[in-house]
Amino acid sequence: GAGVSQSPRYKVTKRGQDVALRCDPISGHVSLYWYRQALGQGPEFLTYFNYEAQQDKSGLPNDRFSAERPEGSISTLTIQRTEQRDSAMYRCASSLGAGDRTGELFFGEGSRLTVL
Amino acid sequence: ILNVEQSPQSLHVQEGDSTNFTCSFPSSNFYALHWYRWETAKSPEALFVMTLNGDEKKKGRISATLNTKEGYSYLYIKGSQPEDSATYLCAPGNYGQNFVFGPGTRLSVLP
């Protein structure tokens, strides 16, 4: 696609429910990143992929969070048994190179998760 | 995880003033540093990607410098305009680690 697309844009869920957030990166972009952004704060790294391989998941807060990118394109971030502290904007970004940190990140518009 | 600091946390300037802010990061194993501009309710947009010590990049009225030996980068805005109001984020990356974003500097330019 022309830009990074995320869905849903807004998700309200009850505590204890599972949620899945989807990211469709720019076509041809090899690297895909997930960040979480609290209100007024900078993006906090969660995990990233080169192609379908998850290269680093050190930022995932706990084992309720997982991510996959099975075909090296679309990625899903799943949060199981959501808690109120999971409420945040979840942003996806992609870049052209395979872990080439000289390539700028292109961000999606984010998925705002609210856990009641 | 890299410890990235940005200062000041927020800044108010008058239209026409020039301003600058700082990004500090550990200098060991430095690979690259990115600057992003983020307007509330929008997505961060890349301003600069810097890799070499002494690098200086410029885009219009905005420029940035990089010192990898001492671990800092400055962002300068000349003749600030109200449309420059945004949060400016830096994101350094080291070998073996990914982009870690700083907390940002929130700039407000008053007309």
C-alpha–C-alpha distance, residues B89 and A43, integer Å: 9
How far is the alpha carbon of B105 from chain A, nearest alpha carbon, in Å?
10
pLDDT by residue, tens only, chain B of 111 residues = 568 999 999 999 999 999 999 999 988 878 889 999 999 878 899 999 999 999 999 999 999 999 999 999 999 999 999 999 999 999 998 766 677 899 999 999 999
Q: Are residues B89 and B101 in contact, defined by beta-carbon separation less than 8 angstroms?
A: yes
For residue B48, the chain A residue with the least C-alpha distance is A104
For chain A, the average pLDDT equals: 92
**Is B103 in the A-facing interface, judged by CB distances under 8 Å?**
yes
C-alpha–C-alpha distance, residues A94 and A103, integer Å: 9
Least Cα distance to B75 among B16, B12, B7 occurs for: B7
Neighbours of A63 (CB within 10 A): 7
B60 Rama class: left (phi>0) / alpha (psi -120 to 50) / beta: left
Q: Are residues B50 and B68 in contact, defined by beta-carbon separation less than 8 angstroms?
A: no
Chain A contact set for B104 (CB, 8 A)? 41-42
**Neighbour order of strands in the sheet with B62-67:** B5-7, B19-24, B72-77, B62-67, B56-59
- Residue A100 tokens, joined: 């080439």
Q: Are residues A104 and A97 in contact, defined by beta-carbon separation less than 8 angstroms?
A: no
What number of residues does chain A have?
A: 116
- Mode of pairing for the β-strands spanning A111-115 and A88-95: antiparallel
Least Cα distance to A99 among A37, A53, A38 occurs for: A53
Residue scoring higher pLDDT (B28 or A24): A24
Chain A contact set for B96 (CB, 8 A)? none
pLDDT in tens, A44-101: 989 999 899 998 898 999 999 999 999 999 999 999 999 999 999 999 999 987 656 6
- Does residue A102 carry a pLDDT above 80? no
For chain B, the average pLDDT equals: 91
**Partners of A54 in the beta sheet?**
A49
C-alpha–C-alpha distance, residues B109 and B15, integer Å: 6
Provide CB contacts within 8 A for A55, sequence distance 6+: A48, A49, A99
